[in-house]
A = this chain, B = another copy of it.
Amino acid sequence: MAPSPSSFDSSALPDAAGAGTPAFSPLYQQIKGLILQSLEAGEWKPGEAIPSEIELAARFRVSQGTVRKAIDELAAENLVVRRQGKGTFVATHAERHTRYRFLRLVPDSGGGGEGAAQRNILECRRQRASAEVARSLQLRTGDPVLQVRRVLSFAGVPTILEDLWLPGHPFKGLTAEQLAAHQGPTYALFEVEFGVRMVRAEEKIRAVAADVQQAALLGVAPGAPLLSVERLSYTYNDVPMELRRGLYRTDSHHYRNELN
């Protein structure tokens, strides 16, 4: 490519903030960043194929191997899916073999994912962010947010009661009807209708006792132990886009986790 084989260009723009980081950034990381930008900008939609490794290598003037390593990392982070012989595709929460990507609750009796859950939307209203919600979603207290409350049932048994808080801006126009009507994961709806792709999440899990209202909605006795799952979901660039508080019945399901 260039006169001397190993004089690759690190004159790109790796540092936005003016902190004089003498950071050394490998080429493939820079390429990864560029692909990430295209992903964010929506150059390729979820489910679509991105350009082939050879094309990207030509575009960025690097070798295929370097593009490959960049894509390897994106694939490891589940932002992209490789399919041998076909191409590399933008990851999506829809059409994914493993039904609900972020839901770790599984029935005790082996299986994997019983059919889709029945959704029962109890509330969907505009309101102002409390201090706590604002902090989680990196908003200001009082900023507009959407709150959704719903119950998910499996095989007719109400199993999950959850509240969702969504920032008002990207989710303007979300209605209870939409939430009730669509098929598949709610995160797939977010992708299609609002262009918001959830990429990773953090959960804080506790055991709590059901209060009277919660007990009634989930069909358990007041004081019954429930799993409290607080989830913060992020889009690209670690921007939080959803706060979710779920209460899970764990009498015939359990939360499954793998440790490495």
- Contact between chains at A260 and B205 (CB < 8 Å): no
Inter-chain CA distance A204–B105, complex, in Å, is 9
A77-B260, A78-B260, A259-B102 known; A227 vs B207 contact (CB < 8 Å): yes
Does A201 touch B at the CB level, under 8 Å?
yes
* A225 B207 Cβ-Cβ under 8 A: yes
Indicate if A257 sits at the interface (CB-CB under 8 A): yes
Are the CB atoms of A207 and B208 closer together than 8 Å?
A: yes
Classify the interface of chain A: helix, strand, loop or mixed. strand
Q: Does A123 belong to the interface (CB within 8 Å)?
A: no
What number of copies of this chain does the assembly contain?
Answer: 2
Chain A window 46-82, contacts with chain B (Cβ cutoff 8 Å), 1 for yes, 0 for no = 0000000000000000000000000000000110000
Cβ-defined contact, B257 with A203, below 8 A? yes
Residues of B within 8 A of A227 (CB): 205-207, 227
Distance in Å: Cβ of A207 to nearest Cβ of chain B: 4
Contact of A203 among B102, B200, B207, B256 (CB under 8 A): B256
In residues 106-134 of chain A, which contact B (Cβ within 8 Å)?
Answer: none
Which B residues lie within 8 Å of A254 (CB)? Answer: 204-206
Residue from A101, A102, A202, A227 having most chain B Cβ neighbours under 10 A = A227
In the complex where A209-B225, A225-B207, A226-B225 touch, is A202 in contact with B250 (Cβ < 8 A)? Answer: no
- 12 other A-B residue contacts (CB within 8 Å) besides A202-B257, A207-B225, A227-B227: A104-B257, A200-B260, A201-B259, A202-B256, A203-B259, A204-B256, A205-B227, A205-B257, A206-B227, A207-B227, A208-B225, A209-B224
